[in-house]
């Protein structure tokens, strides 16, 4: 009875003993229907607010994605896939400073997209340490002249990185790790791109043909 009273379906008569009087059926049904309609209206309002906020959040995310950013790409397959997509989107240049072992694995893993890049007349430059692996058949088959060129230094570059079209850069966290064993910092931040480009050009100019 207290629950029915809370719902407004009965009236409590102050008497001894306490008595209750039920509302007429048509009044009770009207109350319940109106209450249900009010709840539905509130749900509609909340739903509209939810969609409105969702659109605003999507707009913020889209705006963030258009701005310079920094992303730590995990190692292994995820990194290889990101490198593959970057090469597929490249139109003018690929500049690489890396270890010879990592470069050889990259040529093996990405040979198909590199071949398509050379057909688009993309220019490739790589700086590696001078070892026998740098002249392996895999490297010769994938890093092809006249579009691609190799220069040599005495040790592994202190900064292992790859620049695509001078618009995005991958900088490896662990320079001496294998291709798949190190995460990489990806960025299209103009300041970081300028610093990476200056670093590469300095190493390129001092490296031997």
Q: Lowest-confidence range among 8-12, 59-63, 180-184?
A: 59-63
Residue of 122, 118, 70 whose CA lies nearest to 91:
122
| Rounded distance between C-alpha atoms, residue 151 and residue 204, angstroms | 7
Domain-wise residue ranges, the chain? 1-67, 68-206
Q: What CATH fold (topology level) applies to the domain 68-206?
A: Endonuclease; Chain A (3.30.870)
Q: What is the pLDDT of residue 89?
A: 95
Residue 98 has pLDDT above 60, yes or no: yes
Alpha carbons within 13 A on the beta-carbon side of 194 = 4
Q: Which pLDDT band holds residue 115 (cuts at 50, 70, 90)?
A: very high
Residue-wise pLDDT tens digits, 124-177: 999 999 876 656 788 888 888 788 999 999 998 989 999 999 999 999 988 787
Pairing of strands 123-129, 184-187: unpaired
Q: What is the pLDDT of residue 94?
A: 97
| Rounded distance between C-alpha atoms, residue 165 and residue 88, angstroms | 11
Mean pLDDT, residues 176-184 taken together: 80
Q: Lowest-confidence range among 49-58, 116-125, 151-160, 191-200?
A: 49-58
Q: What is the pLDDT of residue 22?
A: 83
Q: Which pLDDT band holds residue 62 (cuts at 50, 70, 90)?
A: low
Q: What is the pLDDT of residue 61?
A: 55
Residue 8 has pLDDT above 80, yes or no: no
Mean pLDDT, residues 86-108 taken together: 92
Pairing of strands 168-172, 123-129: unpaired
Structure-token match 């249900």, residue found: 36
3-state secondary structure of 158: coil
pTM value > 0.85: no
Q: What is the pLDDT of residue 77?
A: 86
Mean pLDDT, residues 70-88 taken together: 90
């Amino acid at each position: 009875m207290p629950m029915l009273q809370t719902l407004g379906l009965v009236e409590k008569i102050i008497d001894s003993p306490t008595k209750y009087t039920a509302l007429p059926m048509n009044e009770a049904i009207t109350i319940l229907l109106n209450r249900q309609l009010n709840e539905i209206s509130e749900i509609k309002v909340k739903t509209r607010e939810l969609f409105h906020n969702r659109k605003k959040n999507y707009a913020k995310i889209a705006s963030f994605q258009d701005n310079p950013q920094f992303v730590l790409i995990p190692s292994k397959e995820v990194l290889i896939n990101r490198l593959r997509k970057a090469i597929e989107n490249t139109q003018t240049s690929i500049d690489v400073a890396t270890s010879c072992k990592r470069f050889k694995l990259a040529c093996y893993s990405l040979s198909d997209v590199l071949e398509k890049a050379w057909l688009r007349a993309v220019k490739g430059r790589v700086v590696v340490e001078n070892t026998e692996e740098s002249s392996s058949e895999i490297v010769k088959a994938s890093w092809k002249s006249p579009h691609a060129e190799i220069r040599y230094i005495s040790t592994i570059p202190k900064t292992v990185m790859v620049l695509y079209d001078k618009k995005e850069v991958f900088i490896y966290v662990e320079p001496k790790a294998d291709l798949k064993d190190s995460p990489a910092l990806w960025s299209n931040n103009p300041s970081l791109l300028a610093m990476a480009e200056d670093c590469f050009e300095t190493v390129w100019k001092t490296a031997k043909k």
